[in-house]
Amino acid sequence: MEDPNEGVMIQGFSPENELFRPLLGICFQFKDLCAIQKSCPNLEKKEINKADPAPKNYLVVVGGATASGKTGFAIRLAKHFQTEIVSCDSRQFYREMSIGTARPSQHELEQVTHHFIGHLSIRTPYSVGDYEKDALQLLDRLFQKHRLVVLCGGSGLNIKAVCEGLDEFPEVPEKISTILQQEYEKKGLSFLQEELAKSDPVYFQEVDLQNPRRLLRALSVIRASGQAFSLFRRKDTVKRAFQPIYLQLDWPREELYQRINQRGDLMLDQGLVEEARTLYSFGNLQALQTVGYQEIFDHFRGKISLDEAVGLIKRNSRRYAKRQLTWFRRDGFWHRFHPEEYDQALSFIQDQVES
């Protein structure tokens, strides 16, 4: 019989035949679909079959050594993308510590919304695990408003916690931690540094040697397991709901060291000694076990002159910068840009987002 819609003779079948009707309906649907595609040649098949997947979220990580210009660079990026900045500088978490941590100025903070700047008291215990949890919760909220967010800071461990997840280490018996703490209190920071250099030279090259908490943690794991702390470093990353884009601000070493020395002088001019004096009675707190304060505290104790303290701040800051750079080189995924190469960095980010 002839199909009244197409004028095509379909032999051997009749529309009155119930077995034929479903097949006839499928034919008509296919005909209609072909007509749609013929009238809309630019319409892709995927637009008919399913919706495009939701766009990715991106975390632009602005890292680099101390005094490399991360704050100003991150602000420029955040203003361009109309987004917000999440700080991962653990020293800038504490509201009582401003000058000695080179916290962003009030003017800088007013240009772009910053998070995790001066949000804690030095009396508040706060671990890297706490930061990881809080930062991920914040990012979940920020990505509801922005497709791209900026993470800024030089703390490699905090960056790793947010972007990759923390490493898993064996449980340490309390007795080992207690004995190690007592040895530290009796023999001092140099004892921890020397033992770590002997037992795990790899981690010794990366860790902040002025941070006793991290040294104690590493040595406790080493004593408990009998293995190097660095062997427990995570090989596989945790899948996050965002894609990191890693930017490292890169300076020639001598220029970087000159900037570090100039920052030391600037801190002194801004009132570092006076700020340290207000914190001196809290010098045993973990938050203050850091470059810039311990040297001034030794001056207050009469161990060194003020000039010697400033010299040590510069020296220890240079050493800290060297270890930061070692950390970034070990990662192997940082894209280096001189701070003056802002346009190139911006193009790189846009290429990553659009690819």
> Whole-model pTM?
0.77
Q: How far apart are CA 249 and CA 44, in angstroms?
A: 42
Q: How far apart are CA 233 and CA 166, in angstroms?
A: 9
* Short-list 323, 260, 324, CA closest to 292: 260
Give 290-324 as a 3 state SS string: CCCCHHHHHHHCCCCCHHHHHHHHHHHHHHHHHHH
Output the pLDDT for position 243.
Answer: 97
Delineate the domains of the chain, giving CATH numbers in brackets: 1-49 (no CATH), 58-166+234-354 (3.40.50.300), 174-232 (1.10.20.140)
* Short-list 249, 266, 268, 261, CA closest to 318: 261
Name the residue with tokens 């240079």. Answer: 318
Backbone angles phi, psi at 301, to 5 degrees: -80, -5
pLDDT per position in the chain (355 positions), as tens? 444 444 444 444 444 444 444 444 444 444 443 443 443 333 333 332 334 455 699 999 999 999 999 999 999 999 999 999 999 999 999 999 999 999 999 999 999 999 999 999 999 989 899 999 999 999 999 999 999 999 999 999 999 999 999 888 888 888 899 999 999 989 988 999 999 999 999 999 988 888 888 899 999 999 988 989 988 876 567 889 999 999 999 999 999 999 999 999 999 999 999 999 999 999 989 899 899 999 999 999 999 999 999 999 999 999 999 999 999 998 889 999 999 999 999 999 999 999 8
Strand order in the sheet with 243-249: 114-115, 85-87, 148-152, 58-64, 243-249, 335-337
Please name the helix (run of DSSP H) or strand (run of DSSP E) that holds residue 158, with its range, or none: helix 156-163
DSSP string, 324-338: HHHHHHHH--PEEE-
Tokens standing for residue 325: 């750079």
Output the pLDDT for position 104.
Answer: 97
